Homo-oligomer: A and B are copies of this chain.
């Protein structure tokens, strides 16, 4: 099967830019045209077009032509790769929080002791 050949941008790179994350956030609510999207940013429409291309190449959005408009919508599937990568760390930060918690409790105990002096 051969779909339209695209540049194959990796997910991590795609979401690295704040504008692109905000684009995804906007599209998470509802699909929108390019101008509609662009109107919500400071940068020019071509800049948004370019960001959308990156997202398209990463498979994070799809476009649908309606007359002279192009409606972009979110395709969240590639984000699962990110989630999978994170998975390996999840238990680690939970451990980390537990240790922090222990430490804080210890600290509080010591302060109480100090108050009793």
Give me the interface of A with B, judged by CB distance under 8 Å.
12-13, 15-16, 18, 21, 24-25, 28, 74-77, 79-80, 82-83, 85-86, 88-90, 92-93, 96-97
Contact = CB atoms under 8 A, between A and B. Distances in A.
Contacts of A96: 75-77
Contacts of A83: 86, 90
A76 to B, nearest CB: 4
Contact of A13 (B16, B28, B75, B77): B16
State the majority secondary structure of interface residues on A.
helix
Nearest to A94: B76
A30 to B, nearest CB: 12
A21 B28 contact: no
A89 B79 contact: yes
A18 B16 CA distance: 12
